[in-house]
């Protein structure tokens, strides 16, 4: 039985978008969680980006005493990652990517972003996706299945741009998890940009500024006809 399509919150620029960012929320949140970040990014009008914020399915979460919450997979600290749940959600995220491709955006202009559990899914989906994607934005998160990279990683995304951001005072997902994930990715041959901030399990203004500049760099560089090549404006968030 096919899973129902994920409901989404969408923010569309006025002109035809030149890229799409699919942004995955964290455990217990929903697609509205990162909706307010779009205007804070202050992206230039020459780089119209469509943002898609899907709602994860509601499932029983072990860490919440079995209560139902929006989650990409079950979370049980004693058992480790819920790989079957991750596989199911990855299939639904791939459907979202395909919807954007069917709508006219090439796969290489689609970027996956995620916070916390959403970042786990951004890694789990993009690193094994068979078509070239634009990049991975991984916020306060970790790589849950790095051992697969040796045999299953997608050649199409071997050089995918990756930005990892983490808070030095994160007690939910300690920064050591992010750091060890970065090491695993580098050892597997990926180039990873790393940023750390004096914050907890959250997002701060300096991080938003860095994300904006990175998106402008990654999504402004293209070999496709009809798209502009932009340079990030260092003072755009001032």
Catalytic residue annotation: 116, 170, 201
116: tokens are 């916390």
Q: What is the 3-state secondary structure of 99-167?
A: HHHHCCCCHHHEEEEEECHHHHHHHHHHCCCCCCCCEEEEECCCCCCHHHHHHHCCHHHCCCCEEEEEE
Exposure letters 40-78 (e unless 16+ CB within 10 A, then b): ebebeeebebbbbbbbbbebebbeeeeeebbbbbbbeee
Measured CA distances, 171 to 52, 88, 121, 174, 200 (Å)? 28, 28, 20, 5, 7
Task: Output phi, psi for 52, to 5 deg.
Answer: -120, 120
């Amino acid at each position: 039985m096919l899973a129902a399509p994920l409901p989404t919150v969408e923010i569309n620029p006025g002109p035809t978008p030149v890229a799409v960012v699919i942004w995955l929320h964290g455990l217990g949140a929903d697609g509205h969680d990162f909706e307010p970040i779009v205007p804070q990014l202050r992206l230039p009008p020459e780089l119209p980006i469509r943002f898609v914020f899907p709602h994860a399915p509601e499932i029983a979460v072990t860490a919440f005493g079995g209560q139902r919450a929006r989650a990409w997979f079950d979370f049980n600290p004693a058992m480790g990652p819920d790989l079957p749940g991750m596989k199911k959600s990855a299939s639904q995220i791939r459907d979202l990517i395909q919807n954007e491709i069917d709508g006219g955006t090439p796969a290489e202009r689609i970027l996956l972003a995620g916070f916390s559990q959403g970042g786990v899914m951004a890694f789990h989906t993009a690193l094994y996706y068979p078509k070239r994607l634009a990049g991975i934005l991984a916020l306060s998160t970790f790589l849950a299945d790095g051992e697969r990279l040796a045999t299953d990683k997608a050649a199409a995304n071997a050089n995918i741009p990756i930005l990892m951001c983490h808070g030095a005072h994160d007690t939910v997902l300690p920064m050591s998890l992010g750091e060890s994930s970065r090491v695993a990715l580098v050892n597997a041959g990926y180039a990873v940009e790393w940023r750390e901030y004096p914050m907890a399990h959250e997002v701060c203004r300096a991080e938003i500024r860095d994300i904006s500049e990175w998106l402008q760099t990654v999504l402004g560089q293209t070999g496709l006809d009809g798209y502009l090549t932009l340079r990030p404006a260092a003072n755009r968030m001032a």
